[in-house]
Amino acid sequence: NASAMLSEKLAVIPTGNLYLAPHIDDVIFDIVQEALLNGKCLEVEYHQAYKNKTKQMILHPLALVQNGIQLYVVAVVDGYTDPRIFALHRIKQIHLMSKESQNPMNFNLKKFIDSGAFQFLQGTTASLVAKVSSSLAAVLRETPISKDMTLSEESGYFLVRAHIEDSWQFHRWLLSQ
């Protein structure tokens, strides 16, 4: 069958990343999928890395999203209305509840992603003006870092100007240059 053979001719290679994918327990992954499919709540013990502590909470799962090497469940914490993201590898304990999951009526996964939820935005725009090498300029011509980016050749270097959403990804990219 041609469509079965097609899967042998397709591949996804994640963008260059120094980090290995974090380990996600198969049981946790299966229970999250089951909750999403059946519209059920999850009781989780979640490790908050930035606070270095674990917290018990009930989640109303809305979606599962892979962002680079990370896998996240988008969910609303019981008692709140705003969707948040939770890294699956930080879920230490999980229980599938019989309680029906509540889905905010206006939740739209595409709009949530487009809002910058997975870019961990700082809420501001950075103005970048930088001297770059000809090799980086060639890469930026093919894959600009913003819609308003300009690149001009100066004496011995290229000048890039752009307005970029201030995010940890931008800071990581900038430090890598």
Give the DSSP letter string of 66-105: EETTEEEEEEEETT--SEEEEEGGGEEEEEEEEEEPP--T
pLDDT at residue 51, rounded to an integer: 84
Residue 39 to residues 33, 83, 85, 90, 111, Cα–Cα distance (Å) = 10, 15, 17, 22, 21
pLDDT at residue 77, rounded to an integer: 94
| C-alpha span between 149 and 112 (Å, rounded) | 25
| C-alpha span between 88 and 29 (Å, rounded) | 7
Please, are residues 97 and 40 in contact by the beta-carbon 8 Å criterion? yes
| C-alpha span between 88 and 49 (Å, rounded) | 12
Q: What is the value of pTM for the model shown? A: 0.65
The pLDDT profile of the chain, 177 residues, written as one tens digit per residue, is 666 666 666 655 556 665 677 899 999 999 999 999 999 999 999 998 878 899 999 999 998 988 777 888 999 999 998 898 899 999 999 999 999 998 877 888 888 877 766 665 555 788 889 999 888 888 889 888 889 989 999 888 899 999 888 776 777 778 777
| C-alpha span between 32 and 47 (Å, rounded) | 16
pLDDT at residue 145, rounded to an integer: 86
Which of 87, 97, 106 is CA-nearest to residue 24?
87
